[in-house]
């Protein structure tokens, strides 16, 4: 991030969101809302304001497992390393303003709208972790049932416990830990898709990490099947088993808590044996939850006129032949915006996205094929079927008839097939041509 901030011709709009996008390839107009931080650019991140602030809020970066001040930096490696004020927590005591030596605090700051012109757009929204409903497998009911993301923060050196694994209920180090795979995914009642094996590999990584720091820990993984598809992934899985990690092929249906010890009792049946149902007690349960489309994807899709596939991620131009581009020329996808994938896959697609837009931006002109739909306004009934069936949102109904955006149109012919008035034709593709070809084929027969 620091290298990106220092790169020439790179403009970073942090703590900002896109409000509106219009235009077409090579000429997009974008409105960006810079959300008020109530701290101006003179801030040097010294932290003097943090020390005097008396108000606290939950730390979103650490999944709400610890507190932060009302004036804070999002996380230690944030770029730029400047403070911001959470006005929902701020009591406006003015102590931060008095402590700031560079007069960076500005309580009168308001949101700012910035308008920029760009030639191409890369959509890289990231993802969100699936949050189980309250009570499902004890989540949000039993304190020692946590998600994989919370475990990541507990194990992180800059996390709420400085890397020490502790139970939320009493702060003790858990000795018996259960990982439950495919929570919220591969489920007909939730998400039917698999998160590209990412959950499996994160569990394997974290079991090895816990075992490295706590050799006496008894760790089990409840799985449907382990999907370790990738270079050295299977070997990594085998190494985990050699270190004593137990893998139990099962579906966990019920968890309940011992109210005195806060230990968790789990009903398990190993489907690879004839042992039947067993009740096993654990100190902590970790839920490996599905990768979900990032919050706000629907709004971005409406602004950019992009479709989503049935899993909720943005739909690519072609799932096999062109997973980078979208149906809108000049707009491409990168990373998990297109679907669940690992870090290495996200990096590969990010580079491919950069290559795709560079191919466009490196030329003076954007050339399009002239096979486009044309409308005879005199015979157009303005029924709207062409607009409804156009997969590229290239047709709109005007007072004088259907209007075709030649930049967005790809000449697929869907509008022609659905027009009851036969008012639409494809340029360079005429019915007499097809009729002659059919006649020629029939003559040979």
For residue range 79-116, what is the model confidence (pLDDT) as tens digits? 989 999 999 999 999 999 999 999 999 999 999 999 99
Q: How far is CA 179 from CA 146, 342, 434, in A?
A: 10, 19, 61
Same fold for the domain at 128-292 and the one at 373-444?
no
pLDDT band at 445 (very low <50, low <70, confident <90, very high): low
User: What does CATH list as the number for 373-444?
Assistant: 3.30.70.20
Helical H segments across 214-338, by residue range: 233-242, 297-304
pLDDT in tens, 155-164: 999 999 999 9
Number of Cβ within 10 Å of residue 380's Cβ equals 20
Share of the chain above pLDDT 70, in %: 99
Q: Crossing angle of helices 198-213/148-155, nearest 10°? A: 40
List pLDDT tens digits, range 210-224: 999 999 999 999 999
189-241: per-residue pLDDT in tens? Answer: 899 999 999 999 999 999 999 999 999 999 999 999 999 988 999 999 999 99
The tens digit of pLDDT for each residue in 288-347 reads: 999 999 999 999 999 999 999 999 999 999 988 999 999 999 999 999 999 999 999 999
| Helix, strand, or coil (residue 254) | strand
pLDDT, position 56 = 95
- Global pTM reads 0.88
Q: Mean pLDDT in the chain?
A: 93
| Predicted local distance difference test score (pLDDT) of residue 77 | 87
Instruction: Quote the pLDDT of residue 5.
Output: 83
Q: What percent of the chain has pLDDT over 90?
A: 81
| Tokens linked to 240 | 């985990």
CATH for 128-292 is 3.50.50.60
Domain residue spans of the chain: 2-117, 128-292, 294-361, 373-444
């Amino acid at each position: 991030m620091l290298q990106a901030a220092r790169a020439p011709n790179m403009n970073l709009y942090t703590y900002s969101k896109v409000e509106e996008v219009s235009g077409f390839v090579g000429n997009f107009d974008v409105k960006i809302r810079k959300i008020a931080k109530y701290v101006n650019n003179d801030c040097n991140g010294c932290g003097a304001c943090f020390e005097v602030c008396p108000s606290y809020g939950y730390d979103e970066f650490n999944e709400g497992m610890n507190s932060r001040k009302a004036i804070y930096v999002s996380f230690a490696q944030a770029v730029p390393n400047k403070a911001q004020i959470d006005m929902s927590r701020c009591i406006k005591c003015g102590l931060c303003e008095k402590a700031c030596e560079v007069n960076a605090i500005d309580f009168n700051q308001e949101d700012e709208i910035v308008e920029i012109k760009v030639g191409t757009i890369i959509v890289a929204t990231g993802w969100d972790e699936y949050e189980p409903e309250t009570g499902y497998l004890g989540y949000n009911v039993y304190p020692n049932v946590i998600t994989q993301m919370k475990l990541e923060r507990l194990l992180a050196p800059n996390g709420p416990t400085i890397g020490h694994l502790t139970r939320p209920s009493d702060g003790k180090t858990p000795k018996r830990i259960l990982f439950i795979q495919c929570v919220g995914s591969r489920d007909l009642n939730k998400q039917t898709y698999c998160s590209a094996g990412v959950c499996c590999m994160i569990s394997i990584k974290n079991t090895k990490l816990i075992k490295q720091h706590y050799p006496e820990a008894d760790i089990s993984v409840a799985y449907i099947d382990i999907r370790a598809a990738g270079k050295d992934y299977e070997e990594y899985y085998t190494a985990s088993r050699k270190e004593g990690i137990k893998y139990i092929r099962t579906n966990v249906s019920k968890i309940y808590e011992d109210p005195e010890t806060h230990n968790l009792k789990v009903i398990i049946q190993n489907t690879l044996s004839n042992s039947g149902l067993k009740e096993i007690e654990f100190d902590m349960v970790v839920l490996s939850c599905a990768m979900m489309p990032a919050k706000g994807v629907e709004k971005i899709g409406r602004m950019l006129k992009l479709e989503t596939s049935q899993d909720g991620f943005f739909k690519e131009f072609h799932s096999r032949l062109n997973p980078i581009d979208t149906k809108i020329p000049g707009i491409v996808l990168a990373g998990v915006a297109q679907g669940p994938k690992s870090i290495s896959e996200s990096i590969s697609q990010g580079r491919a996205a950069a290559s795709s837009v560079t191919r466009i931006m490196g030329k003076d002109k954007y050339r399009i094929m002239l096979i486009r739909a044309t409308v005879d306004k005199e015979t157009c009934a303005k029924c709207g079927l062409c607009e409804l069936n156009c997969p590229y949102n290239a047709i709109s109904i005007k007072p004088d008839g259907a209007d075709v955006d030649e930049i967005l149109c790809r000449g697929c012919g869907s509008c022609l097939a659905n027009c009851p008035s036969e008012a639409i034709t494809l340029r360079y593709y005429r019915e007499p041509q097809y009729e002659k070809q059919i006649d020629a084929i029939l003559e040979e027969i």
